[in-house]
Amino acid sequence: MQEQMIRNMDISESDRDLYMAAQLEVDLGARSLSSGNAEVAVAMFESAIQKIGAGLPFHDHLAYNLLVSYKTLIEQKLATGDASAAERLRRRVLELELSDRTAEDDSFRQQFASVADAIGLIFFRHGDFDASLQCTRKAISIKHSPGFQVNLENALRASVQRAKLSDLTAEVAPEELGRHIFIACVPKSGSTFLKNVLLSLTGYRDAFIAYTPAQFEQELYLPSAVNVAKMDTVTQQHSRATDANVQIMQAFGIRPVVLVRNIFDAVVSLLDFYNGGAFANTFFRADYRSLDEDTRTDLLIDNLVPWYFQFVASWSLVEKQQRLDIFWMSYEELIKDKPTSISNVLKFYGLGAPRRGIEQQIWEAESEKRRTRFNKGVAGRGVSKLSEGQMDRIRSYARYFPTTDFSRVGL
């Protein structure tokens, strides 16, 4: 409760009677709320705020006290099953605005926004996800704060609504957004080659929208997304379709190319990659050198292959739910006809390039093998390199995702 006393304020004689009447209602409202009578508290604070209009001194303190009273009353109404009353109160919550000089105080805005966010959480716990999202958005509109992101992500997911740019940042307006090519890829799928060709063809900036590339998981990192939001970018990341990733993509207008590869070939290529020194960036780096080849292969199957299945299942679900517009591509399609594959990616983003220009950039990328990281550039190695037992273990992971079509990865 904000209990600043009106009677001590420096106001004109003509306004004193009005403010003193409001003070009596504030006192009664505070006592009522303390005793658990939120109905009376709301009535008193609403009456007081009508007397002290927007922009006048003490208005925002009254608004805060009224918001706290709404929170208590909403909780009481929902606890008794009176959802319609809670809904009416929610609409009044959304109408509350800050308008006097107190609103310039960052700490006060944070305090006010925290109450709005708490109201959103109350609605979430009672299964009203749309109301929860609206209240959390109200909090964010008052004060962007990392502390509100958890409730926002949960409410967006549960309400099956798309994230807005204003949900995640106040630093960028929708009309300022650049164009973003995003390759969500499994490791060893030709993604570095594809990214380099697209960079050359578009002239866009190479942007990594993650906190660090050092480990296997590359979740989208909001500050990095904000940092490059106004630029035209090409991004290549090993990112599953987590709720947070999808919401960032929705907010920033990112439509991903999802690049996959035959799972058996991917394991063999990944083994080559690790044996070549890439294990140093993994959680296995302490012991990898001491393992024999079969044990190394088993390590990848048991620890990394589940991630591949989660990758495919997560993006498939996002597509089914129509949460994002997705363009699927496989490594096999890419290496079979690189110019056509790259042309199709450009078309997905509303871009184009002459075939001769595409072919020239492919030739230049392929001439820099160290940069493109193509190990062998062929398909079908997995069946010849893996044992039947190892392939059966890989196939067995599909049983955990019975509604997902894994034909894209050779199953």
- pLDDT at position 367, please? 84
Q: Length of the chain in residues, anyone?
A: 411
| Assigned CATH topology for domain 174-409 | Rossmann fold (3.40.50)
pLDDT, residue 15, reads 64
**In Å, how far are 190, 243, 374, 405 from 315, measured between CA atoms?**
18, 11, 24, 11
Tokens 């997911």 -> residue: 157
Distance (Å, whole) CA 299 – CA 294: 9
For CATH 3.40.50.300, list the domain ranges present in the chain.
174-409
**What are the per-10-residue average pLDDT scores of the chain (411 residues)?**
50 65 88 94 92 81 94 97 97 92 86 96 97 97 90 93 95 97 95 96 96 77 96 97 96 98 95 90 90 94 95 97 97 96 97 94 82 62 91 97 96 93
pLDDT of 372: 56
- CA pair distance 66, 71, nearest whole angstrom: 9
Asked if residues 391 and 263 have their Cβ atoms less than 8 Å apart, the reply is no
CA 68 to chain centre: 29
Which pLDDT score is estimated for 12? 57
In this structure, which amino acid lies at residue 151? N
Q: Can you give the pLDDT at residue 3?
A: 46
| pLDDT value of residue 370 | 56
98-157: pLDDT as tens digits: 987 877 889 999 999 999 999 999 999 999 999 999 999 999 999 998 889 899 999 999
- What's the angle, vertex CA 251, arms to CA 245 and CA 254, rounded to 5? 70
For residues 100 and 52, the answer to whether their CB atoms sit within 8 Å is: no
| Beta strand 327-330 pairing with 180-185 | unpaired
301's CB contacts (< 8 A; 6+ apart) are 267, 390, 393, 394
CATH topology for the 6-165 domain: 1.25.40
Q: Where in the chain do CATH 1.25.40.10 domains reside?
A: 6-165
pLDDT at res. 291: 94
Task: Outline where DSSP puts E strands in 148-254.
Answer: 180-185, 205-206, 233-237
pLDDT tens per residue across span 191-228: 999 999 999 999 999 999 998 776 657 899 999 999 99
Which pLDDT score is estimated for 16? 67
